[in-house]
């Protein structure tokens, strides 16, 4: 059977083309197709394990079979958002001043900013010390869910101009910012405070990000208790 394969970003440079048509055996899986491409284009082998694959514009996973005449895309992890919406899952430090500057327009008169920071000490019913957190994410789905949340915010608060939602992953010491939500508008009474709170609350509910807490007495994965509803 024949399939069309598209390459994007740095991948098209590594293979020196942005589109090919190939003939493969019927019933080939995504995993087998990755191996096929690796053999045909050795320059892509090193980055291929982290490459995202889609079939007919839907995310595809290794066990899935590729249908005849499919359009298959190979691309690196995306950095979502452009223009008035900036979303991302990143392992880089979060610079709130830079993010706010990027979110500011000539008509911007107010911004609501939320940032989550790793507590070094927790007080209350249970007191303990935290050395750091290790964040992990199912990135393709996380990007999709951040886009969904941005759309939900715009449906509820039409005066919001720009939206920034960025979650950091990897290991971070106590005192490090881990997530930023920014909503801007022309005026402070336009719902931006409520919109920013809604954004972080929804991130905690539906974006697939997990954290492992590291303390003096060991490590443990922290799980939430929210179960997404059908359609979320």
Give yes or no: residues 143 and 69 share one domain.
Answer: no
Instruction: Determine the pLDDT at residue 191.
Output: 96
Same domain, 62 and 167: no
Total number of domains in the chain: 2
Q: What is the mean pLDDT of residues 174-185?
A: 97
> Is 132 inside any structural domain?
yes
User: Does 211 reside within a domain?
Assistant: yes
144 shares a domain with 93 = yes
116 and 184, same structural domain?
yes
Q: Are 184 and 110 in contact (CB under 8 A)?
A: yes
In a domain, 229, yes or no: no
Residue 9 near residue 78, CB atoms below 8 Å: no
The whole-angstrom separation of Cα 188 and Cα 86 is 20
Of 54, 75, 96, which one is at a domain's C-terminal end?
Answer: 75
Domain hosting residue 64, numbered range: 2-75
**Residue 227 counted as domain residue:** no
Domain boundary among 75, 109, 137: 75
pLDDT of residue 76: 73
* 69 shares its domain with 115: no
User: Is 230 a member of any domain?
Assistant: no
SS3 for 45-93 is: CCCHHHCEEEECCEEECCCCECCCCCEEEEECCCCCEECCEEEEEECCC
Q: Do residues 108 and 192 share a domain?
A: yes
23 by DSSP, 3-state: which? strand
pLDDT in tens, 19-78: 999 999 999 999 999 999 999 999 999 888 888 888 987 888 899 999 999 999 888 765
In a domain, 228, yes or no: no
DSSP-assigned letters across all residues of 125-189? SS-EE--EEEEEE-HHHHHHHHHHHHHHHHHH-TT---EEEEEE-EEEETT-EEEEEEEEESSGG
Indicate if the pLDDT at residue 81 is higher than 50: no
Same domain flag for 140 and 156: yes
| Beta carbons within 8 Å of 6's beta carbon, 6+ residues apart | 18, 19, 71, 72, 73, 74
Together in a domain, 63 and 176:
no
pLDDT of 111 reads: 98
Q: Is residue 133 part of a domain?
A: yes
217 and 182 in a common domain: yes
* Together in a domain, 132 and 47: no
Do 127 and 22 lie in one domain? The reply is no
CB proximity list for 119: less than 8 A, separation 6 or greater? 130, 174
Mean pLDDT estimate for the chain: 90
Which CATH number does the domain housing residue 33 bear?
3.10.20.30
125's CB contacts (< 8 A; 6+ apart) are none
| Residues 24, 70 within the same domain | yes
Encoding tokens for residue 135? Answer: 């964040």
Phi-psi region of 38 (alpha: psi -120 to 50; beta: other; left: phi over 0): alpha
Residue 16 placed within a domain: yes
Mean pLDDT within 195-217: 93
Q: Is 94 helix (H, G, I), strand (E, B) or coil?
A: coil
Structural domain ending residue among the three candidates 18, 46, 75 = 75
Q: Which residues pair with 113 in a beta bridge?
A: 182
Q: What percent of the chain has a predicted confidence (pLDDT) above 90?
A: 68
Say if pTM beats, i.e. exceeds, 0.85: no
């Amino acid at each position: 059977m024949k399939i069309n394969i598209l390459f994007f970003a740095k991948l098209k440079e590594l293979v020196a083309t942005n589109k090919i048509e190939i003939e493969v055996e019927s019933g080939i899986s995504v995993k087998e197709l990755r191996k096929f491409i690796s053999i045909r284009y050795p320059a892509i082998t090193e980055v291929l394990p982290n490459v995202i694959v889609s079939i007919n514009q839907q995310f595809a996973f290794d066990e899935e079979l590729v249908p005849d005449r499919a359009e298959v895309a190979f691309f690196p992890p995306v950095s979502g958002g452009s223009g008035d919406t900036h979303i991302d899952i990143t392992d880089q430090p979060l610079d709130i001043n830079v993010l706010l500057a990027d979110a500011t327009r000539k008509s911007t008169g107010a911004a609501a900013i939320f940032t989550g920071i790793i507590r070094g000490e927790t007080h209350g019913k249970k007191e303990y010390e935290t050395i750091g957190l290790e964040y992990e994410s199912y990135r393709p789905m996380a990007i999709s869910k951040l886009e969904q949340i941005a759309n939900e915010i715009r449906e509820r608060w039409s005066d919001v101009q720009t939206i920034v939602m960025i979650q950091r992953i990897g290991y971070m010491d106590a005192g490090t910012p881990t997530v930023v939500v920014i909503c801007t508008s022309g005026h402070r009474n336009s719902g931006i405070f409520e919109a920013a709170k809604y954004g972080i609350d929804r991130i905690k509910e539906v974006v697939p990000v997990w954290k492992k807490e590291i303390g003096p007495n060991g490590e443990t994965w922290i799980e939430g208790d929210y179960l997404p509803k059908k359609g979320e």
